[in-house]
Amino acid sequence: MHIDLIGVPMDFGAGRRGVDMGPSAIRYAGLNESIHALGHLIHESGNIAVPIPEMCKSDADPKLRNIDCIVPISCNLMARVSEIFEEGHFPIALGGDHSLSLGSIKGAAKHKKIGVLWIDAHTDFNTPDTTPSGNIHGMPLAALTGRGDPRLVGLGEEPRAAVNPARIAIIGARDIDPGERENLREAGVRVFSMHEVDSYGINTVMQQALDIVMRGTEGFYLSFDMDSIDPLYAPGVGTPVQGGLSYREAHLICEMVAESGKLVGMDFVEVNPILDDRNKTAELAVELILSALGKRVW
């Protein structure tokens, strides 16, 4: 594949600083060299321009913190991902907080009818009416299905759904807000919580999830939040939650993604070097990206 790498050093959607350094940490862990060694062509697109926090009015709307900065960043990312698809290349966006997936997935959906595989401790399906924090990194998936503030749904265009909620599968959820739970049920999104991962095993869960995101689509987009993994293996994340995916479960998810042959692009987000242990989480992100791109032990 010809892969285009984009950094999005943004933490405006989160409630804690630090994930803006995630793209640098992942690159420092050897991502570019490792992708090249795997046999893919790689183009380094640099970073989407992100203003300093002091330039954003975080408290202008307490239910949509930093929206005036997040929307233009997301618009720029959407345009860049759309260009990558026009060139016939494969996008990888590095975060940064999970609100960046608004732009990356909407950019991909301009060119293909896609499903979305969302790997996350959280379901990110809040709206301004249900959010307890006002943090926009808890809203992107809802906005991608047409729910929430029109500025997030539309990104400068007519507000409409980019993804069919019936073609979304969430894996690893273990921290869902009450109002968010109702939003998910109303939308019909399939959520595979850690209870189901524990009960049925990640292989069975992934087979069902892949069927959801590939049925009637032209492929699927992988959005991988590193907080889906247990903090034992990934301590440096924006919003850690105990009881997550194991090291091998995370790798099997990415290996099965590669085996599907239907992956059209991906995000790896929420790496926070401030909270990490010797760049352990960024190094794991590199390993998982390589697995999703086809690296195998044998």
The catalytic site residues sit at: 98, 120, 122, 124, 137, 225, 227, 270
Please give the radius of gyration of the chain, using alpha carbons only, rounded to the nearest integer.
Answer: 17
H helices of the chain, where?
A: 22-28, 31-37, 67-86, 101-109, 140-144, 150-154, 178-187, 194-200, 202-214, 247-260, 280-292
CA dihedral defined by 204, 208, 209, 211, rounded to 10 degrees? 140
Planar angle of CA 99, 102, 106, nearest 5 degrees: 165
Other Cβ atoms closer than 10 A to 6: 26
Q: How far apart, in whole angstroms, are the C-alpha atoms of residue 97 and residue 83? A: 22
What letter would DSSP give residue 166? Answer: G
